Amino acid sequence: MAEMQQQMGGGGEQKAEQQARQEELKNTILAGILDQSARSRLNNLKLVKPDKAAMVENMLIQMAQSGQVQGKIGEDHLKTILERVSEQTKPVGKVKFQRRKVFDDDSDDDY
């Protein structure tokens, strides 16, 4: 029983170690393609909207791996990328209010 628990616990440590390596690799790639101001903007976004920041980080990494990034990405270019992502993730639903027409009786205004 103790051996099984040790094996299961060891698997969790390996997962955590692997996630730490992936995070370190992601940070290394992002540091290589983003200049300082763009990096700070992305970190600020990560504090406010972590899901959107993760989406942008993955997009930037894919762009870097496919060779679409030439040199370092500045803050202005990052802003355009963020605007594109915002347009893609914008909620589509629309709220429409339909007011009921109640009797046009003026007796309610007497009080």
Q: What is the pLDDT of residues 45-63, one digit of tens each?
A: 999 999 999 999 998 999 8
Quick: pLDDT tens for 60-81.
999 888 988 888 889 999 999 8
* Confidence (pTM): 0.65
Structural contact between residues 33 and 72, judged by C-beta atoms closer than 8 angstroms: yes
Q: Would the pLDDT of 110 be above 90?
A: no
What does the pLDDT read at residue 92?
73
Confidence of residue 109 (pLDDT cuts 50, 70, 90): low
What does the pLDDT read at residue 37?
92
Instruction: Dig out the tokens for 101 from the structure.
Output: 């027409």
Structural contact between residues 59 and 97, judged by C-beta atoms closer than 8 angstroms: no
Question: Given the structure tokens 């972590």, which residue do they identify?
Answer: 50
